[in-house]
């Protein structure tokens, strides 16, 4: 059965590589497998991923923007901007200008367009006459620049993954005037298990194979629509294994007085954002306590992070890879011996790299790219869709090697 399905998938990939319909604009399905590390395919050998790569193009890794977190990087993928430029600087943060907090589980904040800069792909496509759809993506639930994707859903992690695939195919079967040319599709299963048991566990291996099955279902479903669809498979970040022992954790209350009303902080595990007028004095206090972390003034952060944004904090604590900030007591009871984490500096820690795979009529098969920054995905997708782009950080020419005109 597996062999016959693989042959079917291979046939689809060959067909989309050679599909030609001159007056038909291409379609793009952007698929994210959250937390899918760059080496999962080589280690776990998921067959549908392997076949997809063999018939399409691949990067050796996709380098997240700093910090290597879910919300900032999913939004970078669809805006071509670094988090420090689009404003979604972490999964949680404080906005000192608005005097409000943003958190990924705060539905009112997630739905508020004030937090989202840039022009996401669904908005760009709509501005230039194309229909769009999203089955979950960061930003798609907020009326950015006053509008949503033509078709979208509020995030609900309980929605079965197979239903997400089915809806994607159903959108592509709509009449031409209603059919979206850009679709984003999101799966969280790999990230969830990676956090729970780490990137080397048997449970994670099993979950990667479940993700593989979803990719197979998507490719198989696309065979039934007979359209020039380019499929782009990405992830937002990788995963690092951490030891679940007390020495792994750096306690924030041991670093400064968290009860001080003149100091606001937001802990993100790998970064802690501090907002205060007492920048210099607190900086000196923290600098003397640097052990397994480093403190930065916002104006002195490394240039490669592109992180000079007020929401990033007046001071930023950045943990050393292998350690983790905590501001609450650890849970009582039995704990797993290891867990997975991300958010570390992607320029210094290779385990933070994600994936980029592509196949379709505008993708040159058999090509491989070296690792590249995820800011370049946006302009590449815009090129596939024939869209002009605003001023962004990314450059479509970084991916020119895999682009093929029909």
> Which conformational region is residue 93 in: left (phi greater than 0), alpha (psi within -120 to 50 degrees), or beta?
beta
Q: How far is CA 268 from CA 108, 227, 273, 356, in A?
A: 20, 43, 8, 26
Q: Are 353 and 225 in contact (CB under 8 A)?
A: no
From the list 70, 76, 272, 276, the catalytic residue is 70
Buried b / exposed e over 156-178, threshold 16 CB at 10 Å, is eeeeebeebbebbbebbeeeeee
CB 88 within 8 A of CB 329: no
Name 84's Cβ contacts closer than 8 Å, sequence gap at least 6: 66, 305, 306, 307, 308, 309, 312
Under 8 Å between Cβ of 244 and 331: no
70 is catalytic: yes
Q: Contact 276/315 with Cβ under 8 angstroms?
A: yes
How far is Cα 282 from Cα 296, in angstroms, rounded to an integer? 11
Contacts of 236 (CB under 8 A, 6+ apart): 32, 34, 35, 64, 68, 69, 70, 73, 74, 77, 354, 374
Rounded Cα distance between 315 and 277, Å, is 10
DSSP assignment string, 204-225: HHHHHHHHHHHHHHHHHHHTTT
Which residues are the active-site residues? 70
């Amino acid at each position: 059965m597996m062999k016959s399905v693989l042959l079917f998938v291979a046939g689809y990939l060959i067909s989309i590589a050679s599909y030609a319909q001159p007056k038909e604009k291409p379609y793009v399905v952007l698929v994210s497998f959250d937390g899918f590390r760059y080496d999962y395919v080589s280690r776990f050998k998921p067959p549908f991923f392997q076949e997809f790569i063999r018939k399409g193009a691949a990067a050796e890794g996709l380098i997240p923007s700093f910090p290597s977190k879910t919300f900032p990087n999913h939004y970078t993928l669809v805006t071509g901007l670094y988090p420090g430029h689009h404003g979604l600087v972490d999964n949680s943060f404080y906005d000192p200008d608005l005097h409000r907090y943003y958190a990924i589980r705060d539905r009112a904040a997630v739905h508020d367009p004030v937090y989202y800069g840039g022009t996401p792909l669904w908005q760009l496509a709509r501005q230039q006459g194309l229909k769009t759809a999203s089955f979950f993506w960061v930003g798609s639930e907020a009326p950015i620049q006053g509008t949503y994707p033509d078709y979208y859903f509020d995030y609900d992690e309980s929605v079965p993954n197979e239903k997400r695939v089915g809806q994607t195919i159903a959108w592509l079967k709509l009449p031409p005037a209603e059919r979206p040319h850009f679709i984003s599709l999101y799966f969280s299963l790999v990230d969830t298990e990676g956090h729970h048991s780490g990137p080397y566990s048997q449970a994670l291996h099993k979950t990667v194979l479940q993700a593989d099955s979803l990719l197979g279902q998507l490719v198989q479903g696309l065979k039934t629509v007979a359209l020039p669809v380019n499929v782009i498979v990405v992830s937002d970040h990788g995963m690092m294994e951490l030891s679940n022992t007390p020495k792994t954790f750096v306690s924030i209350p041991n670093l400064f007085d968290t009860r001080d009303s003149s100091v606001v902080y937001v802990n993100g595990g790998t970064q802690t954002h501090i907002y205060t007028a007492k920048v210099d004095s607190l900086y000196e206090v923290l600098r003397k306590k640097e052990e397994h972390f480093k403190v930065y003034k916002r104006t002195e952060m490394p240039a490669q992070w592109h992180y000079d944004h007020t929401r990033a904090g007046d001071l930023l604590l950045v943990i050393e890879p292998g350690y983790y900030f905590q501001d609450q007591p650890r849970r009582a009871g039995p704990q797993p011996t290891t867990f997975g984490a991300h958010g570390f500096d992607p320029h210094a820690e290779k385990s933070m790299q994600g994936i980029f795979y592509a196949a379709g009529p505008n993708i040159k098969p058999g090509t491989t790219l070296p690792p590249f920054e995820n800011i370049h995905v946006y302009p590449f997708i815009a090129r596939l869709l024939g869209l002009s782009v605003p001023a962004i950080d990314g450059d479509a020419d970084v991916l020119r090697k895999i682009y093929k005109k029909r």
